[in-house]
Structure 1
Amino acid sequence: MKSFLAFLIAMGIIVTLSDAVCWRKMHKPEEDKNGCMINGKVYPFGHIERTEDCYTCNCSEDGVECCSLSFKTIFYKKNECKLLFNKERCDYDVVQKDDPSTPCRSDYARMG
């Protein structure tokens, strides 16, 4: 029970210190009825596990609703570090501004 409570607290901290994005788009009458257009690509109706741009979506005849698969940390040393998006992993790396090959050293450098 204690480990479950610790897990819930940790997840609450991660969600609080990160930023996820969801969006919804309704279809216009003239739009393609074969699926949903997401960033220039047509996906079939139904659940889309992962788009090319790291979203998970639900596509219906009414429209599409998507949420990001990545969480962008909002707590890092912005004066020393920057975020780099890794499209293969759908994840952000927090790296040194002066040397992007070097990760930033921080307790909160990787969130999600």
Structure 2
Amino acid sequence: MNALLFSFVVLATFVTLCNAQCYFIPNESSASNGDLPDPGIEARSPALAGCKDLSGVTHELKSDWKTENCESCHCSNDGIECCNTAAIPMGYDRDKCQAVFNKETCTYTVLEKKDPLKNCTVTAWVL
């Protein structure tokens, strides 16, 4: 019984960590408050509807795209879902090392603070 409970706690932790890297922008019809601004979908006929992202760019319904912040996004009838695609380093010595993000490759490198030419060991990554 304890092994089953432990397995459930581990699984729940991983699901939480994975979902923490995603967000959702509902379209106007999905929003519970009609006074909210329209971040999700333009008010046009359903055949021409598209999703408006946080930058104000409209994307076709059922389209996928990548943002300059290394997120993978999808436009659906309900709105936009975006998830981070860069694995974030978690298991490293934060006193001796620092994580450096490369926006062009959507990757992190963990380097020593005193000697930035040396890599640090990373034992855990979160996507």
Alignment of 1:8-23 (within 5 A): 20=18, 21-23=21-23
Cα distance change of structure 1 residues 41 and 93 upon mapping to structure 2, 3 Å threshold: farther
Q: Which deviations, in whole Å up to 9, do the C-alpha atoms of 1:50-87 show, x marking residues without a partner? A: 11111111112421111111110110111111111111
Relative to structure 1, is the Cα distance of residues 62 and 91 closer, same or farther in structure 2, using a 3 angstrom cutoff?
Answer: same
Q: Which residue of 2 aligns with 1:5?
A: none
Compared CA separation, residues 107 and 68, structure 1 to 2 (3 A): closer
Name the aligned partner's letter for residue 57 of structure 1: C
- Report whether the alignment pairs 1:65 with 2:81: yes
1: CA distance, partners of 2:124 / 2:113: 13
Structure number with greater Rg is: 2
Aligned residues: 93
C-alpha distance in 2 between matches for 1:80 and 1:72: 17
TM-score by length of 2: 0.58
Q: Is the 8 Å Cα contact of residues 27 and 61 (structure 1) preserved in structure 2?
A: yes
Answer yes or no: is 1:93 the counterpart of 2:119. Answer: no
- Segments of structure 2 that go 5 or more residues without pairing to the other structure are 1-13, 30-36, 43-49
Q: Deviations over 1:20-64 (max 9, x none)?
A: 5111121236525143213x2414133324111111111124211
User: Normalising to structure 1: TM-score of the pair?
Assistant: 0.65
* Cα distance change, pair 68–23 in 1 and its aligned pair in 2 (3 A): same
Over the aligned positions, Cα root-mean-square deviation in angstroms equals 2.7
From the superposition, tell whether residues 82 and 41 of structure 1 become closer, same or farther in structure 2 (CA, over 3 Å).
farther
Q: In the alignment, is residue 55 of structure 1 matched against residue 80 of structure 2?
A: no
1:80 lines up with 2:93 in the alignment: no
Choose which of 37, 44, 52 in structure 2 pairs with 1:36.
52
Contact 2:74 2:82 in 1 (8 A): yes
Structure 1 unaligned regions, length at least 5: 1-15
Corresponding residue number in structure 2 for 1:104: 119
